[in-house]
Amino acid sequence: MRPGDDVKLFSGTATPDLASSVAKHLGMELSHGSVSRFPDGETRIQIDESVRGADCYLIQSTCAPVNHNLMEVLVLADALKRASAWRVNAVIPYFGYARQDKKVQAREPITAKLVANLMSTAGVDRVITVDLHAGQIQGFFDVPVDHLTALDILGGRLKEDDLSDRVVVSPDVGRATEARRLANHLDLPLAMLYKRRTSATEVEVTHVIGDVQGKRPIMIDDMISTAGTMRRGIDALIRLGATPQVTVAATHAVFTPPALERLSGEAIERVIVTDTIPYAGGHDAVEVLSVAPLLAKAIRNVHDNASVSSLFSG
């Protein structure tokens, strides 16, 4: 940032290393504040420096523990707004509660819209996020949303490998657009799985659309939660003649059990994810790329009123 710019970066407790890396790329230091809990578990926030008239960015993924991390964002935003910050920008690399973005059955909530309303009520003026589970969630907010993508980061890493006999595979219809963008970026063919969800955590792959015979798949998704979709998709691809040398790429490493066990099969060569969610390790095949440079550029462009879409290759 330019010397004298009144910009403040704050971090919650969910992604402190990512926040520090973003600050480093911006040539700044994180602003001072403390996050603690009252004895009954309520979130307590204290801002330790003046933010009056400042352009504030609070960096926090709403990953596990989801409810606590979400409350940190809301309470931080409220504290900054009440301290007369000029603008409160919520930088949420991983936006939780995004999987319920529509009513599939009767009497279900739309939690993505609920969280969007909560952030607006708390005083958030802008949201910067990475690879939403569904693009239409941008429309749930009554404030501007800068929807970044890590496809260029993942694609840049994949280009370093031998891409001969590779095929990009979308795990479902919902990710087909992103998979096509990656396939175009890598100049590779595209295939797609058609799945039927049997429960909230289980899916069944019924069809594979595209030619995978003798090809090494690159499976791309926005997140890996239990890895059930990935595991069944890989099994279906291999049954249809795909080479058992699979690369899995995803933005958000949610990794709820038994995800790492499911990703330990011999057919999986590499799992490439980003640091939108902290990864504690434990799996040799997992490679973590950083979105800090992307977030830093987005923050700089937002503050300078420059284009954010210019950060994407198209």
Instruction: Work out the angle at residue 70's Cα, subtended by the Cα atoms of residues 118 and 106, and round it to the nearest 5 degrees.
Output: 60
Instruction: Flag whether pLDDT at 197 surpasses 70.
Output: no
Q: In this predicted model, what pLDDT tens digit does every residue of 71-130 receive, in sequence order?
A: 999 999 999 999 999 999 999 999 999 999 999 889 999 999 999 999 999 999 999 999
Q: How far is CA 289 from CA 131, 160, 161, 260, in A?
A: 15, 13, 15, 18
Q: Which residues pair with 45 in a beta bridge?
A: 35
Q: In this predicted model, what pLDDT tens digit does every residue of 159-187 receive, in sequence order?
A: 999 999 999 999 888 889 999 999 999 99
Q: How far is it, in rounded angstroms, from Cα 248 to Cα 227?
A: 10
Instruction: Flag whether pLDDT at 202 surpasses 70.
Output: no
Most confident segment among 4-18, 121-135, 219-233: 121-135
Q: Which residue type sits at 211?
A: D
Q: How far is CA 76 from CA 81, 169, 298, in A?
A: 9, 40, 21
pTM over 0.75: yes
Q: How far is it, in rounded angstroms, from Cα 220 to Cα 314?
A: 17
Instruction: Flag whether pLDDT at 149 surpasses 50.
Output: yes
Question: Is 119 within 8 Å of 74 (Cβ atoms)?
Answer: yes
**Please, which residues have CB within 8 angstroms of residue 268's CB and are 6 or more apart in sequence?**
234, 246, 247, 248, 285
The string of DSSP codes covering 228-246 is HHHHHHHHHHHHTT--S-E
Q: What is the pLDDT of residue 22?
A: 98
Q: How far is it, in rounded angstroms, from Cα 115 to Cα 92?
A: 12
For domain 7-149+292-311, the question of CATH label 3.40.50.2020 is answered with yes
- H helix or E strand, kind and range, residue 55: strand 55-59
Instruction: Flag whether pLDDT at 201 surpasses 70.
Output: no
Catalytic site residue 195?
yes
Residue located via tokens 């300078």: 304
Q: What is the pLDDT of residue 203?
A: 63
- In 3-state terms, the chain is what percent helix, strand and coil (to 5)? 30, 25, 40
Beta pairing, strands 145-148 & 166-170: unpaired
Q: Which residue type sits at 173?
A: V
Q: In this predicted model, what pLDDT tens digit does every residue of 11-62 receive, in sequence order?
A: 999 999 999 999 999 999 999 999 999 999 999 999 999 999 999 999 999 9
Q: What is the pLDDT of residue 3?
A: 43
End-to-end CA, the chain: 26
Portion of the chain with pLDDT greater than 90, in percent:
82
Q: Do domains 7-149+292-311 and 151-289 have the same CATH topology?
A: yes
Q: Catalytic residue among 8, 195, 215, 297, which? A: 195
Question: Is 135 within 8 Å of 102 (Cβ atoms)?
Answer: no
CA dihedral 287, 292, 297, 301 (to 10 degrees): 130
Q: What is the pLDDT of residue 107?
A: 92
**Please, which residues have CB within 8 angstroms of residue 56's CB and are 6 or more apart in sequence?**
7, 8, 9, 10, 31, 80, 85, 86, 87, 88, 89
Q: What is the pLDDT of residue 232?
A: 86
38-42, 119-123, 261-265, 295-299, range with the lowest pLDDT: 261-265
Question: Is 128 within 8 Å of 299 (Cβ atoms)?
Answer: yes
312 band by pLDDT with thresholds 50, 70 and 90: confident
Beta pairing, strands 33-37 & 87-92: unpaired
- Hey, where are the domains in the chain? 7-149+292-311, 151-289
Q: Which residues pair with 192 in a beta bridge?
A: 170, 209
* Average of per-residue pLDDT across 132-147: 94
310 band by pLDDT with thresholds 50, 70 and 90: confident
Q: What is the pLDDT of residue 198?
A: 65
Q: How far is CA 7 from CA 76, 84, 168, 284, in A?
A: 16, 13, 41, 39
Where does 93-234 show beta strands of DSSP type E?
Answer: 126-130, 145-148, 166-170, 190-197, 203-209, 216-224
CATH of domain 151-289: 3.40.50.2020
| Long-range contacts, stretch 159-166, CB < 8 angstroms, 24+ apart | 159/186, 161/247, 163/187, 163/188, 165/214, 165/215, 165/216, 165/243, 166/215, 166/216, 166/217, 166/218
